[in-house]
Amino acid sequence: MSADKFSDKISLGKIGTGRGFTAGSLSSNRPAGLAKTLRGIKQAGKHSYAANLSKKDMEVFHGLIGKELKNLSAGSSGLSYQARHRIMMQAERLRLQGVISAEDKKDLRNIVTALGPGGGGAAAKAAIEKKQAALEAQRQKIVRAGIKYDVAQEMAAEDEGLNAMKYDPKSALGKMASRLEEERQAPAKKLAEKKAALDKQVSDARTNFKPPKSDSAFAEPPDLDIG
């Protein structure tokens, strides 16, 4: 049975590890943690891939997996290779004793694999894919920035090269060099033209300024000689 059938129903974050581990109870009407996850697997595949798993099998799985998850540090990324190996060694002994079947053991292996680092169910896979997408977006951003920088450097180098060399103004390269130089100087030239126009307006205003004539009605009377 494919591990994907089980991993889609498993989220290590909802089970927890170490002090954050939640065992739950398979006999509870509202199971939590590991018990809820195992019951969800059984319920989802009861007519197909999990049809062979009995309530007793679930209890065995619950005990084997729970013991290892509880011994992990809180916030662990999942069951290590050593932990998964211990679980499967015990499962093999139980198979030899007739407690579980070979098919049950395969299902347990798939569940345990899904609880390992990088295989912790749909939620973990979604988180990994999201992180990978973010890293790829960042990489693309850096690549685009690098391309823009390279293009700017090349244009600057070409511009500098054309300006440094003297070309025949009538040649194609000479015309190109002249056009590039005009484009480079265009903003400064436009600003200079605006300033010159304003200076001319001020100068003309000063030159053409004429003081207003005095109104005779308000003019000062001439001095009178009264001897």
More confident residue, 163 or 6: 6
Q: Which residues pair with 221 in a beta bridge?
A: none
Nearest Cα residue to 53 out of 120, 103, 115, 110: 103
123 vs 117 pLDDT, higher one: 117
The percent of residues above 70 in pLDDT, for the chain, comes to 63
3-class DSSP assignment, residue 214: coil
Q: Which residue has the tokens 């939620």?
A: 123
CA distance 204 to 23: 94
Choose between 101 and 132: higher pLDDT: 101
pLDDT at 128 over 90: no
Cβ–Cβ < 8 Å for 58, 50: no
Residue of 165 and 203 predicted with greater confidence: 203
Is 131 a residue whose pLDDT tops 90? no
Note every long-range contact of 219-225, with CB atoms under 8 Å and residues 24 or more positions apart, other chains counting: none
Q: Which residue has the higher pLDDT, 103 or 217?
A: 103
pTM over 0.75: no
User: Where do runs of H (alpha helix) occur along the chain?
Assistant: 4-7, 12-15, 33-44, 55-71, 81-96, 102-114, 121-164, 172-207
Residue 227's pLDDT band, with cuts at 50, 70 and 90, is very low
Degrees (nearest 5) of the Cα angle 176, 148, 172?
Answer: 10
**Can you name the residues that pair with 121 across neighbouring β-strands?**
11
pLDDT (average), residues 180-185? 72
Q: Where are the domains of the chain?
A: 4-121, 127-201
Q: What is the pLDDT of residue 218?
A: 45
Determine the average pLDDT of the residues in 163-179. Answer: 64
What is d(CA 133, CA 128) in angstroms, rounded to the nearest whole number?
9
Mean pLDDT, rounded, for 157-184: 64
Query: What's the pLDDT score for residue 90?
Result: 95
